[in-house]
Amino acid sequence: MNEAEGLDYNNKGDIESEARSPEGMDYSKGDIESEARSPDTEHIAELRYPGGIRDDIEGDLVTDRERRDLKRGLNQRHITMIAIAGSIGTGLFLGTGASIQTAGPLGALLGYATVGLIVCAVQFALGEVASLLPVTGSFVRHAEFLFDPALGFAVGLNIVYGNLLSVPAEISAICVLFQFWTDINSAVWICIFIFITFLVGIAFVGIYGEVEFFFACLKILLIVFLIIFGLVIDLGGIPGIARIGFRYWKSPGPFVEYIASGSWGKFLGYWAVMTNAVFSFAGVESLAMAAAETQNPRRNIPKACKRVFARVLLFYILAILIVGMIVSSEDSRLNDQSGTASQSPFVILASAAGYKAIPSVVNAIVITSAWSSSNQALLAGTRTLYSLAIKGQAPKIFLRTAPWGVPYVCVLFNTAFMFLAFMALSNSALTVFYWLVDLTAAGVLVSWSAILFNHIRLNQAMKKQGISRSELPFNNSWTPYSSPIALALCLIILFTGGFKTFTKGNWSTSTFISSYLDIPLVIAAYLLWKFIKGTKIVSLEDIPIRAALDDIVEHPEPVEIKKKGWLRYVTWVWS
């Protein structure tokens, strides 16, 4: 057998090492696109792509299609605030009171702090892998590069169908929020928000970045105000309200018993809050989804990962601490199921203090939060679908892009599902719709697990190939240890998400299905693609890490210009 016949075309390592001419020409990526069409080099194209050039279907690194068709309209300011905007939403403004009620002030604080540490590990793992492979679809494409194409398909499909349901769910939530002010038919608000969500999605990605930047600024200003406002009330700074201090930590106490009694009941309360906190932090992983549309992604994405973790954790921990100080875990108003600002612990206290405007302000910001979340879900869903099409795992039609660099067919496809929001007009249909949405809730943990698993595989491959981690554009000494621990915790939380249904007298078929159906769906998608395409797990020796590092040398990013003067203090949140 000659050398050409012995090459394994599915083995990226063989291709990267063998596809060089005697003169040193590297045909592994960009050179083959320009050279392989000449008669003299056509045989090289056959080595790279059996049967001829495959228009970037290999696409493990940033493909020429992405460089050509997508526009880099997002900068570090945008992606940082996109992640912050996605993670600071209704879970923080409305859901913190329910967490206090479930676990008590200290139990809720510990639950959010634990998940915050998991988010830290996820963010830094994502930053290290994305700095090496800044591709559209982020960890979906990373899974194929580092493990198995079937895993990339399964995770990508999970994100796509999750976001197809998330956008109409957020629009439905907006309708409920408007009922706090007006009785106008919800169909009007549904039409308005479908239209403006579509406009933001189809527009140049830089416009989306500016919209999310603006909303994130509003959210941050509100949460900072509410934290300060809550602290002032707690310390007795409002006339007519006595100083509260840590009164509610003493009575009814720092912990609340949940389901069981004693220490076990307190632990279950803490665990229930930690499960819910995962979904409050959801969204931080989406900052790398549009990596190929981000300026200088190898520098800006890792920087955003570090910034987002610190800011989001700070806001959440302070908010939970303040809420636990100013509202009792036994306050019956926390049971308000209206879905509007009425159930916010900040609104409860502001109303008691006589501030009538604050409920409306909070409700308005929560509306922007819900719309921001729908915009983010649209971005994640469309870019993941585009990345699947690049890899030949979705129809080629989804690769079509507008002249301004937006995958418009992906946007149109996702927009069609927005009309599911009209199910909110029927009470029975709405019940079914939100049950379907709950099925995708575990997708957050699936995504985090995929990010951590990708990072573990990267570390194992680098060790196997004798490549130092110091060669990565972004690396940290402790991440090889934090990723396995965080992955174990993610899987434990995933498999215990519906633990309440296994306790005496609390069985619920719908809760059980919504908590666990996503697991067999992802496994089924993985096995289905593996069976249909006959994919194989990429061995650690064959993962082309050296080729990815060479790609960094071939496509260097400009040197960052450091900000000087007082402006750098104003831009602290995102820079």
Domain of 471: which CATH number? 1.20.1740.10
Residues 17 and 112 in one domain: no
Residues 36 and 87 in one domain: no
pLDDT (tens digit per residue) in 375-400: 888 988 998 999 899 888 999 999 99
Cβ contacts of residue 321 below 8 Å, gap of 6+? 105, 109
Residues 314 and 236 in one domain: yes
Highest averaged pLDDT of the listed ranges 201-205, 487-491, 550-554? 487-491
Let me know if residue 20 belongs to a domain. yes
CA angle 308, 310, 316 (to 5 degrees): 95
Residue 26: strand, helix, or coil: strand
Mean pLDDT, residues 434-441 taken together? 67
Picking from 376, 377, 351, the residue whose alpha carbon sits closest to that of residue 362 is: 351
Residues 37 and 167 in one domain: no
Residue 20: strand, helix, or coil: strand
| Residue 14, burial from CB neighbour count under 10 angstroms (0-12, 13-18, 19+) | middle
pLDDT for 455: 96
pLDDT for 13: 41
Q: Residue 23 is part of which domain span? A: 3-48
Report residue 275's pLDDT band, with 50, 70 and 90 as the boundaries.
Answer: confident
pLDDT at residue 33 greater than cutoff 80: no
Considering only 232-236, 460-464, 527-531, which range has the smallest mean pLDDT? 232-236
**Position with higher pLDDT, 285 vs 102:** 102
pLDDT at residue 41 greater than cutoff 50: no
- Residues 166 and 170: their CA atoms lie apart, in Å, by 6
pLDDT at residue 562 greater than cutoff 60: yes
Let me know if residue 568 belongs to a domain. no
The number of beta carbons lying within 10 Å of the beta carbon of residue 219 is 24
Picking from 363, 425, 334, 421, the residue whose alpha carbon sits closest to that of residue 181 is: 363
Highest averaged pLDDT of the listed ranges 140-149, 161-170, 512-521? 140-149
pLDDT (tens digit per residue) in 465-524: 999 999 998 889 999 999 999 999 999 999 998 888 898 888 888 788 888 888 999 999
- Residues 290 and 300: their CA atoms lie apart, in Å, by 12
| Residue 224, burial from CB neighbour count under 10 angstroms (0-12, 13-18, 19+) | middle
Report residue 370's pLDDT band, with 50, 70 and 90 as the boundaries.
Answer: confident
Beta-sheet strands, E only, within 95-139: none
pLDDT for 564: 66
Percent of the chain past pLDDT 90, that is, above it, reads 30
pLDDT for 346: 73
Q: Would the CA dihedral through 534, 540, 541, 543 be positive or negative?
A: positive
Q: Which value, to the nearest 10 degrees, does the dihedral of the CA atoms of residues 417, 418, 423, 425 take?
A: -160
Residues 485 and 437 in one domain: yes
Q: What is the mean pLDDT of the chain?
A: 79
The count of structural domains within the chain is: 2
Highest averaged pLDDT of the listed ranges 17-21, 89-93, 296-300? 296-300
- Residues 481 and 61: their CA atoms lie apart, in Å, by 26
pLDDT for 63: 64
Mean pLDDT, residues 18-29 taken together? 37
pLDDT (tens digit per residue) in 284-324: 777 777 666 777 888 888 888 877 777 777 888 888 898 88
Let me know if residue 16 belongs to a domain. yes
pLDDT for 39: 35
Q: Are 216 and 81 in contact (CB under 8 A)?
A: yes
Residues 99 and 14 in one domain: no
Q: What tokens does 42 get?
A: 């056509």
Picking from 282, 248, 501, the residue whose alpha carbon sits closest to that of residue 376 is: 282
pLDDT for 15: 37
Residues 103 and 149 in one domain: yes
- Residues 471 and 454: their CA atoms lie apart, in Å, by 18
| Residue 409, burial from CB neighbour count under 10 angstroms (0-12, 13-18, 19+) | buried
Residues 308 and 436 in one domain: yes
Quote the DSSP letter at residue 440: T
pLDDT for 571: 63
Cβ contacts of residue 96 below 8 Å, gap of 6+? 108, 319, 320, 323, 345
Highest averaged pLDDT of the listed ranges 6-10, 77-81, 308-312, 443-447? 443-447
pLDDT for 154: 95
pLDDT for 306: 79
Q: What tokens does 455 get?
A: 């990072």
pLDDT for 200: 92
Residue 395: strand, helix, or coil: coil
**Position with higher pLDDT, 4 vs 449:** 449
How far does Cα 354 stand from its chain's mean position?
38
Report residue 274's pLDDT band, with 50, 70 and 90 as the boundaries.
Answer: confident
Picking from 471, 477, 462, the residue whose alpha carbon sits closest to that of residue 541 is: 462
pLDDT for 56: 38
Let me know if residue 549 belongs to a domain. no
Report residue 27's pLDDT band, with 50, 70 and 90 as the boundaries.
Answer: very low
Report residue 9's pLDDT band, with 50, 70 and 90 as the boundaries.
Answer: very low
pLDDT for 413: 96
Residues 40 and 163 in one domain: no
Instruction: Give the H/E segment covering residue 295.
Output: none
- Residues 178 and 361: their CA atoms lie apart, in Å, by 12
- Residues 222 and 191: their CA atoms lie apart, in Å, by 28
Let me know if residue 385 belongs to a domain. yes
Let me know if residue 56 belongs to a domain. no
pLDDT for 506: 87
Mean pLDDT, residues 40-51 taken together? 32
Residues 168 and 31 in one domain: no
Mean pLDDT, residues 460-464 taken together? 95
Q: Are 249 and 106 in contact (CB under 8 A)?
A: yes
Residues 348 and 262 in one domain: yes
Considering only 70-84, 144-158, 493-507, which range has the smallest mean pLDDT? 70-84
Let me know if residue 55 belongs to a domain. no
pLDDT for 16: 38
Strand partners, 84: none
Let me know if residue 38 belongs to a domain. yes
Residues 224 and 316 in one domain: yes
Q: Are 128 and 305 in contact (CB under 8 A)?
A: no
pLDDT for 108: 92
pLDDT for 62: 61
User: Quick one: three-class SS letters along 212-270?
Assistant: HHHHHHHHHHHHHHHHHHHHHHHCCCCCCCCCCCCHHHHCCCCCCCCCCCHHHHHHHHH
